[in-house]
């Protein structure tokens, strides 16, 4: 029988995951109610089928791939449909949320009588022929989702409980996206102080690998900064468990990304300064 996977929602990552599944023989459904033209176009390109939201509960597997600030609300919204479903779908939260938030989502799904798997995606949206986008899964029923490996996804099963996959995602994103914030903040500080040219020259001489990483990562952050705010808040809660200083670091990163997101939307000065820094010879 054809595996039916519900992917919510058709953002860049969700549509990329969906396209990979469809290309490898799965049927992928989603709900486009209230979605914008961009989401509708991505869903069509990925081969996703639009169904009523209630019908998502009829899938074999449900992959929640939404901004982290929407993850718990989505589970609560789908709960009545899951409770009414006659089948036994597995609900996998694949969002950048803290282990605490993952367990809250688990409680919502458990109350419907359905199974829950904790997930975390590391890597960019899959593209034709690409590798390196890994779906980490944990919890008692994680092994049930190994079937996704036969449909094109790079599945990594963890031995830990619900929360283990989220902890890995938080730790990894705290380094990569946290460092993107740190590097961007210092490039802007150097620019304000008139030291941008000297800093760029020194980085090129003594830290070429680091400079190359920033040159690749920072421009791609601009359009995503608004989505990274809630992720930094989740990381703040995760890292700050017993470490108030770490909590403050990532709360500050959330505030920094809030400012850059507004600057990007408003065509402001800071994005232009970052571009200018990275373009310096």
The DSSP line for 53-111 is GGGGGGSSEEEE-S-GGGHHHHHHHHHHHHHH-SS--EEEE-SS--HHHHHHHHHHHHT
- Per-residue pLDDT at 213: 97
Each residue's pLDDT, cut to its tens digit, for the chain (281 residues) gives 899 999 999 999 999 999 999 999 999 999 999 999 999 999 999 999 999 999 999 999 999 999 999 999 999 999 999 999 999 999 999 999 999 999 999 999 999 999 999 999 999 999 988 999 999 999 999 999 999 999 999 999 999 999 999 999 999 999 999 999 999 999 999 999 999 999 999 999 999 999 999 999 999 999 999 999 999 999 999 999 999 999 999 999 999 999 999 999 998 899 999 999 999 87
Domains of the chain, earliest start first = 4-160 (3.40.50.720), 167-279 (1.10.1040)
CB 277 within 8 A of CB 190: yes
Structure tokens at 127: 């593209």
Side-chain-facing half-sphere of 258: CA atoms under 13 Å: 10
Query: Which of 32, 6, 13 has the alpha carbon at shortest distance from 127?
Result: 13
CA dist 176 → 12, 13, 64, 101, 228 (Å): 19, 17, 22, 21, 12
Instruction: Return the ∠ at Cα 118 (arms to 117 and 121), rounded to 5°.
Output: 120
CB 234 within 8 A of CB 101: yes
As a whole number of angstroms, the distance between CA 147 and CA 144 comes to 7
131 by DSSP, 3-state: which?
coil
CB 152 within 8 A of CB 23: yes
Query: Which of 236, 259, 231 has the alpha carbon at shortest distance from 248?
Result: 236
Provide Rg for the chain, Cα atoms.
20
Residue 30: φ, ψ to 5° = -155, 175
137 by DSSP, 3-state: which?
strand
Query: Which of 124, 96, 105, 123 has the alpha carbon at shortest distance from 257?
Result: 96
As a whole number of angstroms, the distance between CA 231 and CA 173 comes to 8
pTM of the full predicted structure? 0.94
Q: Compute CA 265 distance to the chain's CA centroid, rounded to the nearest angstrom.
A: 21
Strand intervals (E) in the chain:
4-8, 27-30, 49-50, 61-64, 90-93, 115-122, 134-138, 154-157
Query: Which of 186, 198, 210, 200 has the alpha carbon at shortest distance from 270?
Result: 186
């Amino acid at each position: 029988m054809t595996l039916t996977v519900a992917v919510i929602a058709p953002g860049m990552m969700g549509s990329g995951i969906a396209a990979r599944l469809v290309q490898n023989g799965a049927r992928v459904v989603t709900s486009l109610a209230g979605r914008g033209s961009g989401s509708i176009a991505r869903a069509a390109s990925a081969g996703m089928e639009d169904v009523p939201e209630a019908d998502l509960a009829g899938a074999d597997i449900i992959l929640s791939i939404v901004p982290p600030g929407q993850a718990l609300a989505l589970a609560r919204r789908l709960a009545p449909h899951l409770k009414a479903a006659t089948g036994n779908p597995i609900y996998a939260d694949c969002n950048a949320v803290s282990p605490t938030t993952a367990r809250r989502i688990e409680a919502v799904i458990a109350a419907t009588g359905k199974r829950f798997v904790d997930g975390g995606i590391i890597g960019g949206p899959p593209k034709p022929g690409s590798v390196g986008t890994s779906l980490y899964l944990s919890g008692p029923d994680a092994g049930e989702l190994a079937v996704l490996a036969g449909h094109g996804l790079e599945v990594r099963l963890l031995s830990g409980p619900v929360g283990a996959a989220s902890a890995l995602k938080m730790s990894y994103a705290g380094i990569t996206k946290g460092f993107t914030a740190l590097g961007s903040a210092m490039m802007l500080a150097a620019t304000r102080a008139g030291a941008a040219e000297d800093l760029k020259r020194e980085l090129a001489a003594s830290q070429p690998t680091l400079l190359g990483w920033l040159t690749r990562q920072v421009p791609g952050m601009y359009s995503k900064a608004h989505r990274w705010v809630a992720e930094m808040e989740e990381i703040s809660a995760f890292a700050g468990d017993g470490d108030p200083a770490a909590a403050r670091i990532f709360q500050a990163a959330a505030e920094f990304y809030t400012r850059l997101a507004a600057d990007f939307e408003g065509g402001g000065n800071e994005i232009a300064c970052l571009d200018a820094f990275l373009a310096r010879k």
